[in-house]
Structure 1
């Protein structure tokens, strides 16, 4: 018995300190509130939450206590910049034509020029220059005099006797395709020659030179990666 009383006595100071530290919970406001409507002797009306003063007409009414509006929802988080950059920007699509070949052609006398289609300039040549045999007639007067054996043989074909018979044909100069780098260099040389001619040309010729230079610039941009 004495031990229990001593234990309780030792715990009393601790309980007193704990009780002092415990704060009461705030009282919850009533759901309704009383509003007093007061009318003075001069007919002045006022509304208040306390009873009217002496000498004033009083009307009391129970009303719902105003409540705070609910908290507004948090605004949506902004889109991070990385997500905005995830969509690739629209780009203009440029279609390039395949590079056009350029050919170098050689004339019979060794002169060189360029061609866009690989067909050299045409020229007329006699057939005998291409190795076609020509007929040499043996009906010349006196040809068989003193040669009785020739009268027994008919005329023969001599392939080594180049007799011009008037026949001929059209042939073209030989052309070979240039490498891409050399083709671009030739196109730039052609444009430089056009610009040199432009200064001494008449106005009518200058219009044609401008058109040709625009075509060369477009081809250089497409085939050679720039001017």
Structure 2
């Protein structure tokens, strides 16, 4: 029973020591065949047998640092307000109407000729009856008198071809003209009903883009 007891004790000792860690266990046999197991070398008076233990437990992998969960996509910042793109200054002309001398702005520097009553041009200074009538310096032959008397009204009511005269505006004059048009458009926009504002708002945007070249 002593030998069996010693063997069981040794198995239990191995079962306790082995799972702890891999290493060396010493089997000590003393006088009378008594066997003991220990983790330190046997006394010199005992027979010693070194038993090398192998760790049979699976090696636990070192915990991996967890990657930080990606933050929820931050909302993109609202786009900064961009200035309206500038539009090149238009070419404007200051034109003088041939009929009454009134000045107006135009984008066409070569307006089409048109017909106007001769009388509105201010070319008839004296009644033509006095020129062609009796005592007039021009006189009149018998055939002309037979056709009827020539009067200033007869000539003035005839139409003649006329054309307005234009000149191109410089950059500063163009900016002044655009600013005046912008102010007039803003006044009309404020006075317009909601259903009538679309064309004025469109023109406002066009003028703002052009005035960006004027530094205004």
What's the TM-score once normalised by structure 2's chain length? 0.45
What's the TM-score once normalised by structure 1's chain length? 0.43
